Structure 1
């Protein structure tokens, strides 16, 4: 009897492990759980000058509207690069959606969720199915490596002067009080 119970427990453990490895939503659920217990916190940095390279970095929304980061001087920019197939991206989406809902009416903050695959229709459908309100964009220009080097997810926050204030590669809990306080501070700064 002990032998059978042990085999059943081993089989259940193996199935769960395989699900975490091969099923994106299962892996995202696991990573999200780790985020909730304190892992994956983004590091807030001292602002770093961008030397004006924000001009010409463009994104297009589903309606065809183009947004240029250079035109957003005077606003805080929360920029997240993600993909629908990326489990860490899926894991952090609920916390990002919570942060977005808290600040979406703040005229000093602009949120851009850049689909790294460039499949805008697929990304919009993904957001709608999960009832996220995040504004999705397609990258329409080259992105400097200082902002995005290809790791997904990557989140960048630029202050009102266009200085890099936060860059985090990998999943993180953006509903954390430190991030909320950080965004409030940036939003109310001159």
Structure 2
């Protein structure tokens, strides 16, 4: 009789839910998958400010290095729109937004007025590159070759920054967001065409 009560439908359902929550809590891939699902239903949409205030918003300079050891600075990219994303392989929100960033990149990768910088905050190019290849993302990968200014990366990752052609911070968002939706792509294209 007690055995029947122990294996009741409600107890089994509760046990499954608890196991699912534990799995989501401890496994970054599962957590990222749940967040991707929430993005698809409209949560985690990036806010989009209309205009940039020209005062005090010049992006601070910093240096980046690619996989071949080539180093360049943010200031050397003036005249282009820069999509800058700070992330790490161990970060579930970073992993969750990566497919949408890859979709945005695929849409604008041929545009000579745009450069995409995905920056591994751990500075481990080999590990980050391996992760991108396993996930079949074609995103260009960099590591910081100087200190990352607080204006670009605050206290959390992922952080995404768009820098306009004048070198001004046009957009900054901390946390996961869906950058692959049409609304954001149109917003991004507005900066490219200016």
What is the TM-score with the length of structure 2 in the denominator?
0.92
Q: CA deviation at 1:51?
A: 5.6
Q: CA deviation at 1:183?
A: 1.6
Q: Matched residue pairs, number?
A: 188
Tell me whether 138-147 or 120-129 shows the greater mean CA deviation.
Answer: 138-147
SS in 1 for 2:176: coil
Q: CA deviation at 1:43?
A: 1.4
Q: Which runs of 5+ in 2 are unaligned?
A: none
Q: Give distance in 2, aligned partners of 1:51 and 1:12.
A: 50
- 1:81 corresponds in structure 2 to 86
CA contact (8 A) 2:59 2:163 kept: no
- 2:15 corresponds in structure 1 to 11
- 2:25 corresponds in structure 1 to 21
SS in 2 for 1:168: strand
CA contact (8 A) 1:77 1:111 kept: yes
Q: Deviation per CA, 1:19-41, whole angstroms, max 9, x where unpaired?
A: 11110011001111111111111
CA contact (8 A) 2:39 2:177 kept: yes
Q: Give distance in 2, aligned partners of 1:34 and 1:144.
A: 31
Q: Which runs of 5+ in 1 are unaligned?
A: none
Q: CA deviation at 1:52?
A: 4.7
What is the TM-score with the length of structure 1 in the denominator?
0.94
Q: CA deviation at 1:159?
A: 0.7
- 1:99 corresponds in structure 2 to 104
Q: CA deviation at 1:54?
A: 3.2
- 2:145 corresponds in structure 1 to 140
List structure 1 segments (4+ residues) > 2 angstroms apart after TM superposition: 48-55
Larger-gyration structure (1/2): 2
SS in 1 for 2:147: coil
Q: Give distance in 1, aligned partners of 2:164 and 2:145.
A: 22
Q: Give distance in 2, aligned partners of 1:35 and 1:16.
A: 19
Q: Give distance in 1, aligned partners of 2:15 and 2:93.
A: 26
